[in-house]
Amino acid sequence: MRRTLMICLIAALVVFPLMAGAQPSGTMTYEEEQTKRHLILKDAHPRGPNTSEARPSEAMPQENLVRDAQVALRDTGYEPGRIDGVMGPRTQAAIREFQTSHGLPQTGTLDTTTQQQLFAARTPESSWRR
């Protein structure tokens, strides 16, 4: 019994420091911790493509325009999908529907004429809901 106890004690003295060394030291960054836990592509951001970090400054006005158009489409009865500032297929379909009902060419893009009519069609009381 005494021999078994000594073997366990020696094993614990050897194993515990090794286990403590294998634990993260707390000096990893958030991205390193996330990469360690999940498989993430090298250039991908862990929170997806809709974050506003590290984007070129010229992309932001376009994103704001798309987001405003999505809100205006939703407020005028068209379903653009998620209000995220991304020109996705549902947003393009909603723009085409709007263009069709207003006699505009069905491009699915936010050209100048579509923007003018879309933002003019918006009711004043709908802008306070943002």
Domains assigned to the chain: 59-124 (1.10.101)
- Integer Cα distance of 41 and 46 in angstroms: 9
Among left, alpha and beta (phi > 0; psi -120 to 50; other), residue 104 is beta
pTM: 0.51
What pLDDT score was predicted for residue 25? 54
Q: How do residues 62-104 score in pLDDT, each as one tens digit?
A: 889 999 999 999 999 999 999 999 999 999 999 999 999 999 9
Residue 100 CA: distances (Å) to CA of 72, 78, 106: 16, 12, 6
For residues 55-77, one letter each, b for 16 or more C-beta atoms within 10 angstroms of the residue's C-beta and e for the rest, the string is eeeeeeeebeebbbbbbbbbbbe
Q: What is the pLDDT of residues 12-60, one digit of tens each?
A: 787 766 665 555 555 666 556 555 555 545 555 555 554 444 444 455 6
Cα 32 vs. chain centroid, distance in angstroms?
19
